[in-house]
Amino acid sequence: MGTHAMEQAAGATTVPTQTGLLIIGASQSGVQLAVSLRALGFDEHITLLGDEDHRPYQRPALSKEFLQGTVESESLIFRSNEYWAEHNVDLVKGEYIARIDKEADGSGVAHASSGREVPFKRLALTVGARARKLDTEGADLDGVLYLRNADDALALKARVGDATDVVVIGGGFIGLEAASSLQKMGKNVTVLEYGPRLVGRAVGEETAEYFLAAHRSRGLDIRLNTSAARFTPADGGTSVAAVELKDGTVLPAQIVLIGIGVIPNTQLAEQLGLDVDNGVVVDRFALASDGTTVAVGDVANMPNPVPGSEPGERIRLESVNNAIEHAKVAAYSLTGRREEYAGIPWFWSNQADLKLQIAGLCNGFDQTVLRRDEARGKFSVLYYRQGQVIAADCVNAPLDFMAVKNALAKGQNIPADAAADPATQLKTITTDS
């Protein structure tokens, strides 16, 4: 397989490297891909390579427990070094792949910006996404920060001690999580959201409104339909000191945290000539348009895996659960099997004492059912399409979440009329539809 390309590659490197699968991007998707491949008995060499200087770690805590200082960085590490060694996986940190030469059979050589060359027989792109940047005036001031990776989180933590006022730009999941964490740490936090509601289209109207009211009642200053005109330093300084809004209002801010979404890292795929459209376009088996490269996780634009979804509909999901399930699909592909995406997409977001769990995808719903238990602080919205439950947003309501997730996984239904009574356990009214 690919001997011609391999010989060329070997000639170009000074240190002969074991060749096999090269996974570019050592995070949630890349780690799961390597782990799943070994579990399936894949016995070729694996190089798991990433540009960050840290051992692969879990991102979700960066805006939550890690920011608040309630977990140690060591807890975020996916696997021990011994695990990688025992499983014949070469973990390469701190190497950014700038260019790839690839043969028609799928083999080739990846060139790092350091000059290092990594030959491969097969390629996996698990390069994820990067924070979308804001080009507002003053966005290059010190203290104007983003939160996508561990270095971002460390930079934020380093500034938090000296800050009293923080302006968070973007009322999406990451913005709200970070805002809640910073508020809990005693900061005076204002959230600016450009749109008319929180969390964009990831949740329905009722959930967005619930979060708005819940955060405001906990003292978080949230301003909808609001954007920053410029970030300004104190006289003669290089650090941000204030945010000026379009209406002239000036908010003091020693930290501006921007969370306005992410952009998939498609540079390498584009250079390889793979189909790219809001991510690397892959088929149901995580294969890119060349038929050999797999692309997984935040970077992949895939056919909607949910049973019953519109034929031809495509989605790019940004979640831990998707990274894991999609990596499993890719692992099967790389071992010559064809297995479709299993399981129902789910997501979580923890903000202050609000524990949101989402089961399924609410795209295309035509009916919602609200379940509210004010006394116990529970709130759920079930989404229906033509009478069939397709998703649920559940706040502090794990029983509802679990009932909907399990029903969806088994192709069952939870009739809307019966679901409306919050005293009824959803599990008890689930029917085979």
Partner 1 sequence: MPTVHFTDAEGAVRDVEGNVGDSVMETAVRNGVPGIVAECGGSLSCATCHVFVREDCVSQLPPMEDMEDEMLYGTAVDREDNSRLSCQLRLTDELELFVTTPESQV
What residue ranges bind ligand FAD (CB under 6 A)? 24-30, 50-52, 59-60, 62-63, 96-97, 126-129, 147-148, 174, 265, 268, 297-299, 318-321, 323, 347-349
Strands 20-24 and 280-281: unpaired
CB of 237 or CB of 307, closer to partner 1: 307
Judged by beta carbon distances under 5 to 8 A according to partner kind, the member of ligand FAD, partner 1, none in contact with residue 318 is: ligand FAD
Closest approach of ligand FAD to the CB of residue 365, in Å: 21
- In terms of C-beta distances under 8 Å and separation of at least 24 residues, what long-range contacts does 163-166 make, across chains too? 163/187, 163/254, 163/255, 164/188, 164/252, 164/254, 165/189, 165/190, 165/251, 165/252, 165/253, 165/254, 165/255, 166/190, 166/253, 166/254, 166/255, 166/256, 166/257
Q: How far apart are CA 336 and CA 1, in angstroms?
A: 14
Closest approach of partner 1 to the CB of residue 396, in Å: 8
CB of 370 or CB of 409, closer to partner 1: 409
CB of 202 or CB of 251, closer to ligand FAD: 202
Of 11, 14, 210, 18, the closest CA to residue 115 belongs to 14
Closest approach of partner 1 to the CB of residue 69, in Å: 15
Judged by beta carbon distances under 5 to 8 A according to partner kind, the member of partner 1, ligand FAD, none in contact with residue 175 is: none
Closest approach of partner 1 to the CB of residue 125, in Å: 22
CB of 293 or CB of 357, closer to partner 1: 357
CB of 223 or CB of 372, closer to partner 1: 372
Judged by beta carbon distances under 5 to 8 A according to partner kind, the member of ligand FAD, partner 1, none in contact with residue 402 is: partner 1
Judged by beta carbon distances under 5 to 8 A according to partner kind, the member of partner 1, ligand FAD, none in contact with residue 427 is: partner 1
Closest approach of ligand FAD to the CB of residue 74, in Å: 18
Judged by beta carbon distances under 5 to 8 A according to partner kind, the member of partner 1, ligand FAD, none in contact with residue 76 is: partner 1
CB of 32 or CB of 183, closer to partner 1: 32
Closest approach of ligand FAD to the CB of residue 59, in Å: 3
Judged by beta carbon distances under 5 to 8 A according to partner kind, the member of partner 1, ligand FAD, none in contact with residue 343 is: partner 1
Closest approach of partner 1 to the CB of residue 380, in Å: 13
Closest approach of partner 1 to the CB of residue 60, in Å: 6
CB of 17 or CB of 63, closer to ligand FAD: 63
Give me the half-sphere count of Cα atoms (radius 13 Å) on the Cβ side of residue 98: 7
Sign of CA dihedral 80, 83, 84, 85: positive
CB of 87 or CB of 197, closer to partner 1: 87
Closest approach of ligand FAD to the CB of residue 250, in Å: 28
Q: Where on the chain is the footprint of partner 1 (CB under 8 A)?
A: 35, 39, 58, 60-61, 64-65, 75-80, 82-83, 86-87, 320-321, 324, 343, 346, 348, 350, 355, 357, 398-399, 401-403, 405-406, 427
Which residue has its beta carbon closest to ligand FAD?
128
CB of 93 or CB of 355, closer to partner 1: 355
CB of 28 or CB of 254, closer to partner 1: 28
Judged by beta carbon distances under 5 to 8 A according to partner kind, the member of partner 1, ligand FAD, none in contact with residue 24 is: ligand FAD
Closest approach of partner 1 to the CB of residue 88, in Å: 13
Rounded to 5 degrees, φ, ψ at 221 are: -85, 105
Judged by beta carbon distances under 5 to 8 A according to partner kind, the member of ligand FAD, partner 1, none in contact with residue 119 is: none
Judged by beta carbon distances under 5 to 8 A according to partner kind, the member of ligand FAD, partner 1, none in contact with residue 298 is: ligand FAD
